[in-house]
């Protein structure tokens, strides 16, 4: 067993790389497919809700400090809501190093009633992945989806990437 472990550890470090010789300070303009998962725990004995977040966004990022922004459209689809619930949305995000700040306009509907909401987005992340807290500011029909906000984990998959100059 010790010999097998030693051989495994010896060969596993062959793929290890040291520090890169050069950094990528270029700026990029990208088209992305966003996929995410949103969760809100049970409130006052109510049900916990789970949502899938799908969208398409455009982003610009890069430079020395890794900042950027993105904007896009998408929808949040309820997995275990009372009936079929969707939330078309438009959102914008700003990234700087490991911070992610933005906002979204979401209109949740079950095709009988709707609930428009402003959703500030605050959390950790970059242009590829983010973990955020999304409180909901409800404009109308709070009873349609009685949640104070979501915890969201989202990943962006690059569809097209091009370098651009300032």
CA atoms within 13 A on the CB side of 64: 0
Q: What is the pTM of this model?
A: 0.76
Q: Domain locations in the chain?
A: 26-163
Tens of pLDDT, residue by residue over 62-116, are: 877 778 899 999 999 999 888 889 999 999 999 988 899 999 999 999 999 999 9
pLDDT band at 144 (very low <50, low <70, confident <90, very high): confident
DSSP-assigned beta bridge partners for residue 71: 58, 92
Look at residue 17 in the predicted model and tell me its pLDDT: 60
Instruction: Say whether pLDDT at 133 is over 80.
Output: yes
Q: Exposed, middle or buried: residue 70 (CB in 10 Å: 0-12, 13-18, 19+)?
A: buried
Pick one of 2.40.160, 2.30.29, 2.60.40, 1.10.8 as the CATH number of 26-163. 2.40.160
What pLDDT, on a 0 to 100 scale, did the predictor assign at position 19? 61
The predicted structure's pLDDT at residue 13: 65
The Cβ of residue 31 has, within 10 Å, a number of other Cβ atoms equal to 14
Region 14-22 average pLDDT: 62
């Amino acid at each position: 067993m010790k010999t097998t472990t030693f051989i495994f550890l010896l060969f596993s470090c062959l793929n290890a790389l040291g520090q890169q010789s050069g950094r990528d300070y270029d700026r990029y303009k990208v088209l992305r497919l966003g996929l995410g998962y949103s969760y809100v725990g049970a409130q006052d004995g109510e049900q916990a809700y789970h949502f899938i977040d799908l969208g398409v966004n455009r982003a610009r990022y890069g430079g020395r400090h890794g900042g950027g922004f993105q904007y896009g459209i998408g929808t949040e689809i309820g997995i275990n809501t009372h009936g079929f619930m969707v939330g078309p949305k438009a959102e914008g995000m700003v990234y700087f190093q490991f911070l992610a700040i933005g906002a979204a306009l979401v209109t949740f509907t079950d095709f009988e009633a709707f609930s428009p909401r402003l959703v500030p987005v605050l959390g950790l992340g970059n242009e590829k992945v983010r973990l955020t807290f999304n409180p909901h500011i409800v404009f109308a029909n709070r009873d349609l989806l009685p949640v104070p906000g979501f915890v969201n984990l989202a990943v962006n998959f690059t569809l097209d990437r091009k370098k651009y100059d300032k």
